[in-house]
């Protein structure tokens, strides 16, 4: 993808934190749409500009500051949508360490929330008014913890200006948020992600992918997942582009909505796990895709799980007639977020860029990812309990 000169690249590269990045976007692109959330039928459900996101984050930060001190942890329990991003940036503005988590399924017999609560000892739990009071009446009971205070992000008590809040000035070494492993094979481990770690990662993604303000993203990957949050939502913010959000459930039920959104918004960047591309092929119905044009799609990042050559070939063959370019498909890896002990010896940091096919032990052809492009950053893996570090991840240019 060709690089296009962006007048504020040098300014963005020098910013000390992700919160400073949002303030910058609100100042230079106040009326540009930052995020659009689509309904389960593919219609625009909510829209927010960079300036509106900044104002709402400041308003929420004031509420958080009244309830917790900087450095406290806050659980972020949201469906896919704009409220999750308001909560994320509200935490950053208040100096609160956000902990994005999946909203537990109603009937799930096992989830990692008990271990995570014991590990990070959160002071706050943020969600929507709908989940807190109606749709999920069981939610509070699933997260029982002493002194945990619940807050509905969308129940604002009145707008305030940026001058009404003395925001902590975060620096690159400060922790931005905690990301936990799934806990599927052992107790979940938290990754301490610093502002500097995030900014370095986002800059590497920008360079590797050639993203610009014109690089509209369309994503169905959940925002508690690093691919959804960093590779899509935060990367779009980093370059000043629009990010369109589709709920994972809507994608699973109607995968064509993702492809339609790429067409409708002329998106350049859209990706997801390997199974998502298989699902698009398996559910392909020509009558649902009449008039579809995917020639705008410049980067289809496939990652977060083993990427199979057969999947890439099937997807390319199925959607070539809709303008999909085979060179668009990039096997990818985002920041290290699981298999902590192995990664301390063999880190992989960002983005995908080599097409070398290889065979695994199971003889399934898969694709290999490239190495880090530029910049450096550090992440710390923490083992329960909260204050004991078990290793550091370092990302260095080659």
- Rounded average pLDDT over 58-84: 95
Contact call for residues 120 and 70 (beta carbons, < 8 A):
no
Confidence of residue 21 (pLDDT cuts 50, 70, 90): very high
Cα within 13 Å of Cα(285), Cβ side: 7
pLDDT at 249 over 80: yes
pLDDT at 318 over 60: yes
Question: Comparing C-alpha atoms, which of 381, 336, 379 is closest to residue 189?
Answer: 381
pLDDT of 134 reads: 67
- Rounded average pLDDT over 41-66: 96
- Rounded average pLDDT over 290-301: 96
Reading the block at residue 148, the tokens are 């945990």
pLDDT at 154 over 60: yes
pLDDT of 157 reads: 60
Highest-scoring range by mean pLDDT, 70-84, 306-320, 326-340, 369-383? 70-84
Q: How far apart are CA 220 and CA 206, in angstroms?
A: 20
**DSSP three-state, residue 233:** helix
**DSSP three-state, residue 342:** helix
pLDDT of 319 reads: 96
Question: Comparing C-alpha atoms, which of 207, 373, 374, 200 is closest to residue 299?
Answer: 207
Is the torsion defined by CA of 3, 223, 266, 273 positive or negative? positive
Which residue in the block uniquely carries the two structure tokens 């927010």? 48
Nearest 10 degrees: Cα torsion 194, 196, 197, 200: 160
Share of the chain above pLDDT 70, in %: 75
**DSSP three-state, residue 241:** coil
**Per-state percent for the chain, helix, strand, coil, to nearest 5:** 35, 20, 45
Confidence of residue 156 (pLDDT cuts 50, 70, 90): low
Per the DSSP assignment, residues forming a β-bridge with 359 are: 365
Which conformational region is residue 210 in: left (phi greater than 0), alpha (psi within -120 to 50 degrees), or beta?
left
pLDDT at 216 over 60: yes
pTM score, whole prediction: 0.82
pLDDT tens sequence across 84-120: 999 999 999 999 999 999 888 766 655 677 888 888 9
pLDDT of 288 reads: 93
Write the CB contacts of 363 (distance below 8 Å, at least 6 apart in sequence).
none
Share of the chain above pLDDT 90, in %: 59
pLDDT at 386 over 60: no
pLDDT at 59 over 90: yes
pLDDT at 181 over 60: yes
pLDDT at 348 over 70: no
pLDDT of 36 reads: 98
Which residue in the block uniquely carries the two structure tokens 């450095």? 71
Q: How far apart are CA 319 and CA 295, in angstroms?
A: 10
């Amino acid at each position: 993808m060709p690089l296009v000169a962006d007048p504020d690249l040098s300014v963005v590269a020098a910013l000390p934190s992700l919160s400073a990045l949002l303030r910058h976007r609100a100042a230079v692109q106040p009326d540009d749409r930052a995020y659009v959330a689509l309904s389960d039928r593919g219609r625009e459900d909510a829209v927010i500009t960079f300036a509106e996101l900044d104002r709402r984050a400041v308003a929420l930060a004031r509420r958080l500051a009244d309830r917790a001190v900087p450095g406290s942890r806050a659980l972020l329990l949201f469906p896919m949508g704009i409220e999750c991003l308001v909560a994320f940036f509200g935490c950053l503005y208040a100096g609160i360490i956000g902990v994005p988590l999946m909203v537990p399924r109603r009937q799930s017999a096992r989830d990692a929330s008990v271990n995570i609560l014991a590990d990070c000892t959160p002071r706050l739990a943020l969600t929507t008014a709908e989940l807190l009071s109606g749709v999920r009446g069981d939610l509070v009971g699933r997260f029982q913890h002493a002194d945990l205070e619940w807050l509905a992000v969308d129940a604002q008590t009145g707008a305030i200006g940026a001058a009404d809040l003395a925001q902590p000035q975060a620096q690159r070494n400060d922790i931005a948020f905690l990301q936990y492993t799934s806990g599927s094979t052992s107790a979940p481990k938290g990754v301490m992600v610093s502002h500097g770690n995030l900014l370095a990662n986002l800059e590497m993604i920008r360079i590797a992918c050639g993203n610009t303000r014109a690089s509209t993203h369309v994503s169905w990957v959940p925002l508690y997942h690093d691919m959804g949050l960093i590779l899509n939502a935060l990367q779009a913010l980093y370059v000043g582009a629009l990010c369109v959000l589709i709920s994972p459930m809507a994608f699973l039920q109607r995968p064509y909505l993702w492809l339609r959104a790429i067409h409708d918004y002329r998106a350049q960047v859209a990706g997801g796990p390997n199974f998502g591309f298989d699902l698009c092929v398996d559910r392909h119905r020509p009558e649902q895709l009449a008039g579809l044009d995917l020639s705008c799609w410049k980067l289809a990042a496939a990652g977060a799980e083993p990427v199979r050559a057969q999947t890439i070939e099937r997807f390319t063959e199925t959607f070539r007639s809709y303008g999909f370019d085979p060179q668009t498909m990039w096997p990818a890896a985002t920041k290290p977020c699981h298999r902590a002990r192995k990664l301390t010896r063999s880190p992989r940091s960002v983005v995908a860029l080599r097409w070398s096919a290889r065979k695994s032990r199971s003889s399934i052809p898969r694709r290999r990812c490239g190495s880090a492009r530029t910049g450096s950053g550090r992440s710390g893996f923490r083992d329960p309990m909260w204050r004991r570090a078990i290793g550091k991840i370092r990302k260095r240019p080659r």
